[in-house]
Structures are given as C-alpha cells and as structure tokens.
Structure 1
Amino acid sequence: MPREVIQTDNAPLAIGTYSQAVKVGDVVYLSGQIPLEPKTMELVEGDMEAQIRQVFENLKVVAEAAGGSLAQVVKLNIYLTDLTHFPLVNATMTDYFQPPYPARAVIGVAALPREVAVEMDAIVHLGD
C-alpha cells in the first residue's frame, strides 16, 4: 500500500528526520508535537494549559491536512515530564475530544525535545 507524507505550514515544521504525518490507506500516523507556535517555531508563551492547548492545536491542523480531524483519533499518546499535570491534560482534552474518547496512554518521561513539558502523538482513522 503506498504511503503519503503529510505536510502543512499550519503546524510546526519537522525539527528532525521525520514527517509531520504519514498516511497509509485510511490510517494517518501523526508525529509527536510539542508546544511550538507554527509561525515562529518558538515555544508558546504561558502556563502549562497554554502548552497543552498548543500541542492539541498542532495535532488538529496536521490531522486536518491529512483530510481528517481530532474526532477521528483512535489512539493518543501523551508524554509528560511531570505527571502532576495529568489532571490538567484530562480537563483540557475535553475541549478537543468528545465521547467516545480515543484509546490513550500517558507516559512520564525524564525529558523531551527543547526541554518542553509535554509532547503528544496520535493515530487517526479516516474510515467510517
């Protein structure tokens, strides 16, 4: 099955050897997003909630560039350098997802790129 690389200027450019997303059939694999503002490639200003929202916004525009939406996310991985932010992720997530929620993992990590506190990746199913 051929694969298609997804690229949009509405999300941060890849800062390494990866694509923003790769589509294979009706499945889209979204690469990890951190709280970078797409236009400046700088970390979003503000508190942890602002960072979480920026990550969701980045995932959203990549999903849209692939012809989908966050409503079609079937798997979401969340990486946090401090798991005390887990309740804030849950609260913010309800602004971006409606039941039935995607499968999800929240993983505590020692560090993330550019010393951010949150990163997320996702799998989108474009089918019915």
Structure 2
Amino acid sequence: MDKQVINHPDMPAPYGAYSTAIRAGDFIFVSGQAGIIPKSGAKAGEDFESQARQAFENLKTCLECSGSSMNDVVKVITWLGDAEERAALNDLFGEYFPIDPPARSTPIVDLPMGLLLSIEATAIARD
C-alpha cells in the first residue's frame, strides 16, 4: 500500500513534524484539527462554539482537499478540553454528521494554547 502526503493551500498547515493529511490505500487520515483560522494561525475565538465550529470546518476542508468528505468519515477522535462542553460538542457533531455518524471517541485532555477542541478523522478516499 502506498502512502501519499496530501498538501493543498486551503488546508491548515501543520504546527510541527507531522502531515495534515495522509492517503493510504482507500483511506484518508486527517491529523487533529483545532479551532484555528488557517490563514492567520489565530484562534477562532475564546469560546467553545467558535473554536469547535472552526475545527469542524478545518476538518471538512482537509477532507475535501484530500478527495473525501464528511459523509465518508468512519472514525473520529474529538479531543475535548472541558468535559462540560460535551453537550455542545454533541450538537455540532449532529450538525456536521447528520446521517449515519461515524464512530467516535472523546478523551478529555489538556490542549495547548488555550484550545478547547481538536478533531482527528479517518475517512474513505473517493477519488
């Protein structure tokens, strides 16, 4: 199975020694996407809603640039910075994955830079 690093100018740049997205066979693996605005590198806001919505949009962009989509996601890990935001996360999850949502794990962790959410995903590659 070949491994291909996916790069696209619309995708958020990685903040370290990792790739934003990798295609391996028929799957796309997207590294954790946080609530950071790709063009500026700034947080989308201090509140959970702003950051989480941006994280989901970043994930969506990465998938689309990789030949996949939110409908093709099979597994998500949502790294949550505050357990009290679980209900708000569930609401957004239902919005972004309205039909046949993917499997999900949600560990509660201390995220860097005051971030409140990071989303990593595995999806089926379509092209």
TM-score where L is the length of structure 1: 0.93
Corresponding residue number in structure 2 for 1:57 = 57
Q: 5+ unaligned residues in a row in structure 2: which ranges?
A: none
CA contact (8 A) 1:73 1:125 kept: yes
Q: Distance in 2 between matches of 1:70 and 1:117?
A: 21
Secondary structure, in 3 states, of the residue corresponding to 2:106? strand
Letter in 2 for 1:96: Y
Q: Distance in 2 between matches of 1:75 and 1:29?
A: 10
Question: 1:114 aligned to 2:113?
Answer: yes
TM alignment of 1:47-126, pairs within 5 A: 47-109=47-109, 111-126=110-125
Q: Distance in 2 between matches of 1:13 and 1:32?
A: 11
Corresponding residue number in structure 2 for 1:12 = 12
Q: When the two structures are aligned, how many residues end up with a matched partner?
A: 126
Aligned structure 1 segments of 4 or more residues deviating by more than 3 angstroms: none
Question: 1:2 aligned to 2:2?
Answer: yes
CA contact (8 A) 1:75 1:103 kept: yes
Secondary structure, in 3 states, of the residue corresponding to 2:5? strand
What percent identity do the matched residue pairs reach?
A: 34
Corresponding residue number in structure 2 for 1:33 = 33
TM-score where L is the length of structure 2: 0.93
* Deviation for aligned residue 1:46: 5.2
CA contact (8 A) 1:71 1:98 kept: no
Letter in 1 for 2:125: L
Higher mean Cα deviation, 60-69 or 1-10? Answer: 1-10
Q: 5+ unaligned residues in a row in structure 1: which ranges?
A: none
CA contact (8 A) 1:9 1:38 kept: no
Secondary structure, in 3 states, of the residue corresponding to 2:96? coil
* Deviation for aligned residue 1:115: 2.5
